[in-house]
Amino acid sequence: MRVVFLGSGAFGLPTFERILETCEVPLVVSQPDRPAGRGRRETPTPIAEKALEHDAQPELLRTELVNDPATIDRIDRARPDALVVIAFGQKIGPGILDRHFAVNLHASLLPRWRGAAPINRAMMAGDPVTGVSVISLADRMDAGEVHTTRSLEIDPLETAGELHDRLALLGPDAIEEVLARLGRGEVRSSAQDDSAATHAAKLHRRDATVDLSLDAAAVRARIHGLTPWPGCDLAVRLEEGVANPDRLRIHRVDSSDRVDVPMGTVLEDGTLGCGDGAIRLLEVQAPGGRMLDWASFSRGRGLPTGARLERLVRDDGA
């Protein structure tokens, strides 16, 4: 089967690697190189980088305008049996979709969590289960018919970054199933129930904190759903004077059986009081420092005596 792959982000890497092994890939379309790292060096997307280093060296097109006539012509000339689109970063228009069978791998069990941040939103909402859906591309975001799904349970101790990597590993088998059906002429899909759709709004840096007046389960879910990006910072407050550090990034937490810890109070073992119940801080990071487990952080810099944690009001765009 001839497959044109359109992708940019790392979420598509496991599926892209499988397609390179099992299909003929005449063309890969990705976003242009972008400045990255402290040196702001022009860096290819993860998909472009993989295409460049692969032995087969498929033709690579890096474009800002996937719907440009010249790009459409290059896709047409590749004579694909199917287009596979994963974390591409551009909306593909009817000029392409009306001419080719195209499927997308989306990181949720649609129609739940249509939109830009499905992994984060599923975790922040406390969903016990999530997964991936292979869908036809449609005019409305993530509203296409569903060809197949794969699901998994969310571990209460994992972060959105870790869940991202586990979900990406579900992609190869799901896409391979749909392509195999296409090869046999047995394509089948089902319409989504629009009434059950939820929106996975894009995350911003201003979202990078948590209200400790929430119950402990909700606080834990939000912290993990914000990790690694945009992160979750809490302000460090003292009754008098300025605390050092003045904020603390929380990477990972666990549930706690303690029910008598005042909201915002941090105990020696890392227990933190919430509006209802408590959590235990496992991995934290002070500004300019590296991520540490709570015991190592306490032995080193630690928190000032009498410090409390509270929601950080982000008014600096940081």
Are domains 2-200 and 205-311 of this chain identical in fold? no
pLDDT single digits (tens) 2-52: 999 999 999 999 999 999 999 999 999 999 999 887 778 889 999 999 999
pLDDT in tens, 38-95: 778 889 999 999 999 988 789 999 999 999 999 999 999 999 999 999 999 999 999 9
Task: Please say whether the dihedral angle defined by the alpha carbons of residues 217, 222, 225 and 229, taken in this order, is positive or negative.
Answer: negative
Q: Are 248 and 233 in contact (CB under 8 A)?
A: yes
- 77 backbone dihedrals φ, ψ, rounded to 5°: -70, -20
Q: Helix %, strand %, coil % for the chain, to 5?
A: 25, 30, 45
Length of the chain: 318
**Per-residue confidence (pLDDT) for residue 315, from 0 to 100:** 67
Q: Using the 8-state DSSP alphabet, how is residue 202 labeled?
A: P
**Domain 2-200, second-level architecture:** 3-Layer(aba) Sandwich (3.40)
The pTM of the whole model exceeds 0.85 = yes
Q: Give yes or no for a contact between 141 and 202, defined as CB atoms under 8 angstroms apart.
A: no
Torsion over CA of 55, 58, 61 and 62, rounded to 10 degrees? -30
| CA dist list (Å): 107 to 130, 135, 244 | 8, 11, 39
Single-letter residue type at 189: S
Domain ranges of the chain: 2-200, 205-311
Rounded to whole angstroms, what are the CA distances from 317 to 15, 144, 180, 312?
35, 35, 47, 12
SS (H, E, C) 265-305: EECCCCEEECCECEEEEEEEECCCCCCEEHHHHHHCCCCCC
Buried b (16+ CB within 10 A) or exposed e, 87-110: bbebebeeebbeebbbbbbbbbbb
> What percent of the chain lies above the pLDDT cut of 90?
89
What is the domain class of 205-311 according to CATH? Answer: alpha beta
